[in-house]
Amino acid sequence: MEVRITRQARRHKLSSSRIREALAGAAFDHMDGDIAIYHGTDNRGLALELGLVADDRHNDRLACIHAMPLEWRSR
């Protein structure tokens, strides 16, 4: 499935390519309202938390609206 990376997802200085790498091997963690939370690792070994929702622009796609290093969650 194709995923659109939003500007909001990139606000923690993560590039779209790093987010896509983490999404390629991401595992579902939980639902937080309408947001599906996934955990994945990019090719540099950085674990990311990713938030996906149904894309409002395209019915058959998802949009990544949240991406941040997983280690920040424990702070």
3 state SS of 53: strand
pTM equals 0.88
**Sheet containing 35-41: order of strands:** 3-5, 62-69, 47-54, 35-41, 27-32
Residues 6+ apart with CB under 8 A from 15: none
Q: What pLDDT, in 10s, does the model give residues 5-58?
A: 999 999 999 999 999 999 999 999 999 999 999 999 999 999 999 999 999 888
Going by pLDDT thresholds of 50, 70 and 90, the confidence category of residue 73 is: confident
Q: How many domains does the chain have?
A: 1
pLDDT of residue 70: 87
Give the residue numbers spanning the domain of 10.
Answer: 3-74
Going by pLDDT thresholds of 50, 70 and 90, the confidence category of residue 75 is: low
Helix (H) or strand (E) holding 24: helix 16-24
